[in-house]
Amino acid sequence: MSTRAALCTGIRLLAVVLGVRAIVYVPPLVLTLLTLARREGQSYIALSLGLAFTLSVAAALLLFKYADGVAGAVVSSDERIETKGWDDPSVQRGIFQLAVRVIGAACVAWAVPRIAGQAAGELIVYWPQWLHLTRQVLPGLVGLAVGVYLLKGGDILVRLAYGPQVPAQDRAQ
């Protein structure tokens, strides 16, 4: 099985999860909008929830539609996962790296709404209070960076789990 095809499937499954996550934002968004109709000065809450919902829906749709392109951007087309011989460390390594990439896609997908949705509301309300902003924005940025690293394969994690990769000709000897 090609790593690209497997990652594409994982990304599409992630898109379904993001779609469900977006649906979860609907009740708080509606309740917040109803509350804001009676109060002033809390539009940042609606902005935050609205952006999180919109970005989650957009991410779900884009990942679902362009999963093959995303997978192709981070995995070479000739990379394959061997599915025979589950006891072979190279097979386990390939499957582990695929799972790391799917987790990376999840981290990116979760970080973007957090950064854009929560950060937008926080910037409006707490602009001069940098400590508060760093508690909200910085974790999202770190999550995004970690997600991109994992999406590219998380080589350090794979080496920690399975040691250095041994070329196929050396394994045969």
Residue with the bigger pLDDT between 157 and 169: it is 157
> What size, in residues, is the chain?
173
H-only helix segments in the chain: 3-36, 43-65, 67-74, 89-113, 119-126, 130-151, 155-162, 168-172
> Which two tokens mark 30?
């509606």
C-alpha torsion angle, residues 22, 23, 27, 30 (rounded to 10): 70
Instruction: Pick 164 or 28 by higher pLDDT.
Output: 164
pLDDT at 149: 92
Q: Is the pLDDT of residue 172 over 60?
A: no
CA distances from 164 to 79, 146, 152 (A): 17, 21, 17
- Residue range 19-24: mean pLDDT, rounded: 74
| pLDDT per residue as tens digits for the range 130-143 | 666 666 677 778 88
Burial category of 131 from C-beta neighbours within 10 Å (exposed 0-12, middle 13-18, buried 19 and up): exposed
Q: What is the mean pLDDT of residues 56-85?
A: 80
Q: CA 18 from chain center: how many Å?
A: 9
Are 149 and 104 in contact by the 8 Å Cβ rule? The answer is yes
CA 27 to chain CA centroid, Å, is 23
